[in-house]
Structure 1
Amino acid sequence: ETTDWNLIVQGEGSKVALVERFKQTPRALLLGTTSFWHGVDVPGDALSLVVVDKLPFDVPDDPLIAARIERI
């Protein structure tokens, strides 16, 4: 089965280049990791869905985070 989606994957270029390609390519899927969490703006109909695989919370067993939690 063939789909009409254009797949753009992190690692095929810089973040800026991938986002620009995504904005200019119709029916595109952009797969990226945490580096895409901030600084990506795709206004209008070019972006219709965002899937987050993991929320950006700190790991509670990290000693620095544990100390902050203890102070609260």
Structure 2
Amino acid sequence: MYANRLIETKLQKLFKYFPVVCLQGARQVCKSTLIETVFRGNLQTVTFDPVQDISGARKEKDILQIQV
């Protein structure tokens, strides 16, 4: 079950003024769930997880480049 957070309104305001916003925090505290819930899939997101990044970079050299 999703719990509403105080930061939701602040995130929405930030995205009105800035094209890129970094949301960081400890592992598994629902950062991705927060973004998906607040913006309902209307954003392009990038997750920087060292395990996934290293594994992906070894398989595909351009994994961290984003096509806009």
Scaled to the shorter chain, the TM-score interval is 0.3 to 0.5
What is the TM-score of this pair, normalised by structure 1? 0.32
Larger Cα Rg: Structure 1 or Structure 2?
1
- With normalisation by structure 2, the TM-score equals 0.33
